Structure 1
Amino acid sequence: MAGSRSTVRNTLARLLLLSGLALHSLTAGALDTSLPAAIDLRAESEQAGRQNGPLIILFSRRDCKYCETVRRDYLLPLTTSAGYRNRVVVRQINQDSDAVLINFRGETTTHARFANSEKIKLVPVVAFYGRNGKQLAEPIIGTRLPDFYQGYLDDAIEKSASALRGR
């Protein structure tokens, strides 16, 4: 009897451990909503230009729950969508970060200083850039109405693509 209790306890312990590991993997994957951080805006805008699309930048902050919503629900899907993944380059600039950044003129700055130079006060802001830092469409400020946000994003991308084609 003592042997069977020990076997049951060991089996239960293994099942709990496995279910805990499975839950951890699921939640870890679900929580990864990061976008690539901007590193070299000049090179990243050139890459977007070669794809005939804009460099899309999410100006964000670490503590911004609205930024998380925009990142997770709208911008991350662009990076995997067949209609957009080869047309746009999506990056993030953190308004509260001292991470090094090369600006559109090839000068070294930080995420925070660049956001300040772009007059970013409130976040989230989604901005659309062409080569040399030219803004191609009006930035999307805030989260606006969730039911229409994808439409705002699609319109800004199309306006950006038209500006790049010279229309």
Structure 2
Amino acid sequence: MVAVKILRTHDFQRLAETARREQRLIMLLVSQVDCPYCHLIKEEVIRPMILGGDFREQILIREILMDEGERLVDFQGQETEAADFAHGYGVFVTPTLLFLGADGRELAKKMTGVNTIEMYYYYVDQSIREALKKLPGKHS
């Protein structure tokens, strides 16, 4: 099996520059180290998406851990706790998927938790398509 790593980000200002320049959506997985459902989503949905090249030219897939002590730079360039950053988006449960524009705005409703893993990719696909329609500079 091919090892596929989901890139973690600690600098949203830099990520936003890339997203803006390449006119891409940011799909952000908010997870925790010991979250079994986070691992399930990574193995069953996100890694296969990366391997299959799904939306390769349209989205940037990244992950943050909201475990204690994790720090990052937000969209405004301020250093903050990853948990505080996530809470700013109303994230209190992991896994949560956020669909963000380069300005940090949510472009589709966040996906919280896992109801049915068999249907999860379908819902991710729908959310990505909805968000891409709202992405500045993109006309679908």
TM-score bracket for the superposition, by shorter chain length: 0.7 to 0.9
CA contact (8 A) 1:60 1:124 kept: yes
CA contact (8 A) 2:97 2:112 kept: yes
User: Higher Cα Rg: structure 1 or 2?
Assistant: 1
**Uncovered stretches (5+) of structure 1, i.e. residues with no partner:** 1-25
How far off its partner does 1:111 sit? 1.4
How far off its partner does 1:121 sit? 1.1
**Uncovered stretches (5+) of structure 2, i.e. residues with no partner:** none
TM-score of the two chains, using structure 1 as the length reference: 0.73
The amino acid that maps onto 1:100 is R
Q: Name the counterpart of 1:105.
A: 76
CA contact (8 A) 1:48 1:87 kept: no
CA contact (8 A) 2:75 2:103 kept: yes
* Identity across the alignment (%): 25
CA contact (8 A) 1:45 1:129 kept: no
Deviations 1:4-51 (A, max 9, x none): xxxxxxxxxxxxxxxxxxxxxx8xx7xx66521112112213323444
Q: 155-164 vs 68-77, which deviates more? A: 68-77
Q: Name the counterpart of 1:11.
A: none
Shift in alpha-carbon separation, 1:138–1:166, aligned structure 2, 3 A: farther
Q: What is the CA–CA distance in structure 1 between the aligned matches of 2:54 and 2:89, rounded to whole Å?
A: 29
Higher RCO, 1 or 2 (CA under 8 Å, sep at least 6)?
A: 2
Shift in alpha-carbon separation, 1:52–1:81, aligned structure 2, 3 A: farther
The residue correspondences of 1:114-129 to structure 2 (distance < 5 A) are 114-129=85-100
Q: 2:128 aligns with which of 140, 149, 157?
A: 157
CA contact (8 A) 2:4 2:51 kept: no
Q: 114-123 vs 44-53, which deviates more? A: 44-53
Query: Number of matched residues?
Result: 138
Q: Name the counterpart of 2:48.
A: 77
Q: What is the CA–CA distance in structure 1 between the aligned matches of 2:126 and 2:20, rounded to whole Å?
A: 18
Q: What is the CA–CA distance in structure 1 between the aligned matches of 2:68 and 2:56, rounded to whole Å?
A: 27
- Report SS of the residue matched to 1:55: strand
- Report SS of the residue matched to 1:106: coil
Give the CA RMSD over aligned residues: 2.2
- Report SS of the residue matched to 1:160: helix
- Report SS of the residue matched to 1:118: coil
The amino acid that maps onto 2:14 is A
TM-score of the two chains, using structure 2 as the length reference: 0.85
Higher helix share: 1
Q: What is the CA–CA distance in structure 1 between the aligned matches of 2:12 and 2:100, rounded to whole Å?
A: 9
